[in-house]
Structure 1
Amino acid sequence: MSCSGDWTSDSAQSLEAEIAHLSLPKNGPGPVQLDIGGIDKLDTIGAWLLTRLQRGLGQGDARLIGGNAQHVALLSAISDAAHETLPSPHRTNILLVPFAKFGRIVIGAFNDIFAANAVQGHLMVALGRTLTFQAPLRFASFVHQFEQIVLRAIPIVALISLVVGAIITQQTILQLRTFGVTIFVVDLAAILMFREIGVLLAAIMVAGRSGSAITAEIGAMRIREEFDALQVMGVDPHQALMLPRVIALVVGMPLLAFVGSMSGLAGAAIVAKFYGDIPLDIFADRLRGAMTVTSVAVGLIKAPFMGFLVGLLASIEGMKVAGSSESLGQRTTSSVVKSIFVVIVADGLFAIFFAAIGL
């Protein structure tokens, strides 16, 4: 039996129909010979059809004759692949599944620590080169990032802080009214907003709003291989892309923390007037006595560190994007979750530290 013409995907449908109408001799006196010398073009689809025809002719005993070396090599590869069997899936003991997951979490945590140190080192080197005038700070990029990350976040940070300040004040008045010391709500609002709530809400909003954007931007650049292109051109991606964003976060977080704290106090004043019967002038007078420079300084000192942590984690997760939209979505989600978690933990550590030194 001889085969001729083009055995390719373009003619696969007609070839399959012809093979289906063949009378295949399965019990001949000897092995059937299949002459493929007349085939002009052969691709993977055609090779698979020939392999299936060979099996139908002699249950694997049909011999192929003729054909050039490329056709024979392709048919051999297809035949070997057809005989391969998939390995049976590995079944894990159900009792070991929690330990396996815990082990992956531990290994992932160590990998994150290593990646954080590596990216932090690159950023410190880039900052050092900028401060020693070995590399320019891309001022236009810094201004753009400052507008996107800080200035455009002011309305949402102010609104959230206003609402949270009002809610906390309302609940506090409800409890203090029982003891007849409603006026102390002003002291609580002043200390809480400047030391904790203002900077914490600002950091969480920046982590969800700007941290995710940074991860998505860097991840998209990784998918489009722009990082490799910058390195080929002799441009350090950490210097050109990450450093302006991190500096914008470090410089802008104290401003957002201050705006959040003042908005929270405004919400507290409004609720104190209408729910606690505390006039605004009395609220302001009490606020001057309760608010100290130390409380304001504590909140503003924490802000740059939190901005740096958000920028660092967002950059790390962006660098982990593996080249697909699914990976980009996973890393963006991971960036937001990790940033919020680390910001809250850092705030707690700062609170312990300042309490230990008496601030």
Structure 2
Amino acid sequence: MQATAIDRPAAGRNGIPESDALAVESRGDAVVARLRGAWTLETALTVDAAMRALAERSDRAVTLDAAAVTRLDSAGAWAIRRTAARLEQRGVAVEIVGLDAGLRAILDKATLSDPAAMVAPPPRWSLPRFLEQLGRHVVEAAGTGRGLLGLLGLVVAALGRVVLRPRRLRGIAVVAQIEATGVTALPIVGLLCFLVGVVLAYMGALQLARFGAAVLTVNLVGVSVLREIGILLAAIIVAGRSGSAFAAQIGTMKVNQEIDALETMGLSVVDVLVVPRVVALVIALPALAVFADVAGLAGGAVVCLFLLDLSTGQFLAQLASGVTIWSFLVGLIKAPVFAVVIALVGCHNGLGVSGSAESVGRQTTRAVVESIFLVIVLNAIFAIAFAEMGI
């Protein structure tokens, strides 16, 4: 293997190698180093020796004249900053002049880190700081709630116009959203609800067998799946899939200025983007809830048939005796409410994107967290309300 020869610049009259990118001239006890051209990685490699020699001079002041610098990258900026730092460390006055404002920003970011600098300690807990953060979160939550209520009002008004003029509803968009939010979610909803039904039946059978009431596992699975588990799992999965998709789609449209284009054409963003998604989810989520109920009961039936030695007829008979029609309707009543909340939260966060890719990701994550939180809170409210009504 042959070594590659590197041409070194000839030494100048100041004892510092000169090149097209660097020229050094002495003025009494001061030195002016003129930087020229493109200070990129390639240039930094060629002037490295010259910059190191300049950093070791014993002059009282050094001026780095960068007025003729046309380009600057991180390597060139680091070479300049390293030289200035070395001179300042030796007590030499250093001044960097003439650098363009845009290139100055690159140079400022190349500041050398001080290994001796102390790491700032984390702020200590205090009651005023805690109250301040709590108040900020409360105000932010109130603003989010106000925005959601405002969007709900716009959607209700838009649906009222649709009732008066049904042709205003964009049927193709609604069908496309039903497929995206409902049909494509069937496999994951069915699988998870089936497995949850298996786990619920297995753990219930182990506990109830201690009291000689293992057959009541059927009642446990039926009531819990139909009233709570089925709709709750379906809503959480839809919030993770469709709520995030709504926020990402609308947020990307806003970043690409498609929202502005719709408004310029005189189209309502609520009519075009929000209403089809709300209507589609209100149709799709109840259907997914029914499918989730069937999958959860099927998972519980598998455990009961094999672990408790029940026949299919016995399982169905016990299920019919322990589960009323209200157990099924309670879960189904929640579905449209959850659907409206998930759709509104996703669309609201999508419309709240500020115009950058980072904002899209932040608002998408926020949509998932807020929709799941609201679904669980509403589910608890429904449970208490139905219990108070004796249902």
Partner of residue 315, structure 2: 283
Q: TM-score, normalised by structure 1?
A: 0.76
289 and 235 in structure 1: CA distance in 2 versus 1, 3 angstrom threshold: same
Q: Tell me which amino acid in the other structure corresponds to 1:125.
A: A
Identity, % of aligned pairs? 38
1:331 pairs, out of 363, 367, 370, with 363
Which SS does the other structure have where 2:218 is aligned? helix
Deviations 1:296-327 (A, max 9, x none): 11111110000111101111111121122221
Instruction: Answer 1 or 2: which has greater helix percent.
Output: 1
Instruction: Assess, with a 3 A threshold, how the Cα gap between structure 1 residues 144 and 24 changes in structure 2: closer, same or farther.
Output: farther
Report whether the alignment pairs 1:307 with 2:339: yes
Q: Deviations over 1:338-357 (max 9, x none)?
A: 11111111111011111111
Within the candidate set 255, 262, 278, 1:230 is matched to 262
Residue 174 of structure 1: which of 179, 202, 206 is its match? 206
User: In structure 2, what is the Cα distance between the partners aligned to 1:24 and 1:318?
Assistant: 62
Look up the SS of the partner of 2:22 in the other structure: helix
Report the Cα distance in structure 2 between the residues aligned to 1:134 and 1:238, rounded to whole angstroms: 16
How many angstroms apart in 2 are the aligned matches of 1:183 and 1:93? Answer: 57
Task: Write the distance in 2 (CA, Å) between the matches of 1:317 and 1:163.
Answer: 32
Identify which of 22, 36, 42 aligns with 1:17: 22
Partner Cα separation in structure 1 for residue 21 and residue 273 of structure 2:
55
- Give unmatched runs, 5+ long, in structure 1: 1-13, 28-44, 50-58, 61-73, 83-88
Q: Does 1:274 find its partner at 2:306?
A: yes
**Matched residue SS, 1:264:** helix
Alignment of 1:156-305 (within 5 A): 156-305=188-337
SS in 2 for 1:198: helix
Counterpart amino acid of 1:124?
V
The offset of 1:193, in angstroms, is: 1.1
Residue 126 of structure 1 pairs with residue 158 of structure 2: yes
Cα offsets for 1:211-245 (capped at 9, x unmatched): 11111101101111111110010011111011111
User: What SS does the corresponding residue of 2:168 show, helix, strand or coil?
Assistant: coil
Q: Secondary structure at the match of 1:342?
A: helix
Q: CA RMSD in A?
A: 2.9
After superposition, the Cα gap between the structure-2 partners of 1:94 and 1:265, relative to the gap in structure 1 and judged at 3 Å, is closer
Question: Contact 1:193–1:261 (CA<8 Å) still a contact in 2?
Answer: yes
Q: Secondary structure at the match of 2:379?
A: helix
Instruction: Identify if the C-alpha distance between structure 1 residues 176 and 228 changes in structure 2 by more than 3 Å, giving closer, same or farther.
Output: same
Report how far residue 329 of structure 1 moved. Answer: 1.2
Please state whether the residue corresponding to 1:235 is helix, strand or coil. Answer: coil
**Whole-Å Cα distance in 2 between the matches of residues 25 and 123 of structure 1?**
78
Match of 2:386 in 1: 354
Displacement of 1:17 in angstroms is 3.1
2:348 aligned residue: 316
CA distance in 1, matches of 2:317, 2:275: 43
Report what 2:173 is aligned to.
Answer: 141
Provide, for residues 181-223 of structure 1, a one-character-per-residue CA deviation record: whole Å limited to 9, x for no partner.
1111111211111111110010001001111111110110111
Who is 1:106 aligned against?
138
Which stretch shifts more, 204-213 or 319-328? 319-328
Separation in 2, partners of 1:246, 1:139: 13
Larger RCO, structure (CA 8 Å, separation 6 or more): 1
State how far apart, in whole Å, the 1-side matches of 2:28 and 2:264 are: 62
Query: Could you tell me how far 1:291 is from its partner in structure 2?
Result: 2.6
Matches of 1:24 and 1:237 in 2, distance apart? 68
Alpha-carbon spacing, 1:134–1:192, altered in 2? closer, same or farther (3 Å): closer
Deviations 1:232-280 (A, max 9, x none): 1001111101111111111111111110011100000000111122222
Aligned pairs, number: 297
Q: CA deviation at 1:97?
A: 3.4
Give the structure-2-normalised TM-score.
Answer: 0.70
Q: What secondary structure is seen at the aligned counterpart in 2 of 1:234? A: coil
Q: Structure 1 counterpart of 2:237, which letter?
A: M
Rate the CA distance shift 1:22–1:141 in 2: closer, same or farther, 3 A: same
Residue identity matched to 2:309: D
Q: Kindly provide the amino acid, as one letter, of the partner of residue 296 in structure 1.
A: F
Aligned AA (1:280): T
Please list, as runs of the form range in 1=range in 2, the aligned pairs for 1:47-86 lying within 5 A after superposition.
Answer: none
Question: Following the alignment from structure 1 to structure 2, what is the Cα–Cα distance between the partners of residues 26 and 299?
Answer: 88
Aligned-partner Cα distance in 2 for 1:26–1:219? 61
Q: What amino acid is aligned across from residue 22 of structure 2 in structure 1?
A: A
> Secondary structure at the residue paired with 1:278?
coil
2:57 corresponds to: none
- 1:222–1:319 Cα contact (<8 Å) kept: yes
Q: Describe the SS at the equivalent of 1:284.
A: helix
CA contact (8 A) 1:154 1:256 kept: yes
1:15 and 1:122 map into 2 onto residues whose CA distance is 66
More off after superposition, 95-104 vs 245-254 = 95-104
